[in-house]
Amino acid sequence: KLDGKGFDWIKTNDDMRLFVALPDEKKLAIADLQTLTVLNHLVLSGQPTRLALQPDERLLWVGLTGKDPQESAVEIIDTVNDKSIARIPLPSGYHEITFSNDGRYAFISNRQSKSLTIINATTLKVVREVDLGFEPLGLVFVDRQSLLWIVNAKAGRIHRFDTKGNPIDNLVLEPGLGPLKLTPDARYVLVVNPSQHWIH
């Protein structure tokens, strides 16, 4: 039983913990998957949307939005102690979060601000703000290339950047692109196009 409607969820690889974002309540639900019970509801400083675990799963990154631009941030939760350890303000917009495979960098998109924030995941300091010039719909880090792939839905393009936020190239597909995911073996990136009924 949750305090409200869940928006996004993520679990640990050992199937021990489940984290659920509850935007309307500005809370994060933490559940034990072995006993199927909710352990806690953490109160957050904004409306949680996307959730992302660092590769070592020690920290949970929670993208926050809200009517007040000051609510736009990422809150970082210690998954051992179930406590917030940091809050980093972000440009306004809906946020997607991904990490470099070594866990050194966090990449966070800011949809309405048409920008990308790069954060050092060790020091929890912002490294760079990148003006994208388009609304980023989704992003994924491809470790084999050390490249960040970002979806430009309206233009039907996937823009690729290096870890410092410098543009490398772009792949031209079709307008209407949606989210993208990396396959478990990291060989393929799958991109859906709901309007065209395609998956690339």
Predicted confidence (pLDDT) per residue in 25-37, tens digit = 999 999 999 999 9
pLDDT for the residue 69:
83
- Which residues, 6 or more positions from 183, have their beta carbon under 8 angstroms from its beta carbon? 189, 190
Distance, in Å, from the CA atom of 40 to the CA atom of 31, rounded to the nearest integer, reads 7
Residue 38 has pLDDT above 90, yes or no: yes
Residue 144 has pLDDT above 90, yes or no: no
Q: What is the mean pLDDT of residues 5-28?
A: 96
In whole angstroms, what separates CA 169 from the centre of its chain?
22
- Length of the chain, in residues: 200
| Confidence band for 66, pLDDT divided at 50, 70 and 90 | confident
Q: What is the CA radius of gyration of the chain?
A: 17
69 vs 109, higher pLDDT: 109
Q: What is the mean pLDDT of residues 50-54?
A: 96
Average model confidence (pLDDT) across the chain: 95
Q: Quote the tokens at residue 75.
A: 């809150």
In whole angstroms, what separates CA 45 from the centre of its chain?
17
Residue 31 · residue 3 · CB < 8 Å: no
Is the pTM for the entire model greater than 0.75? yes
Q: What is the mean pLDDT of residues 128-142?
A: 96
Q: What is the mean pLDDT of residues 51-59?
A: 95
Q: What is the mean pLDDT of residues 75-85?
A: 95
Residue 122 has pLDDT above 90, yes or no: yes
Residue 70 has pLDDT above 90, yes or no: no
Distance, in Å, from the CA atom of 110 to the CA atom of 93, rounded to the nearest integer, reads 5
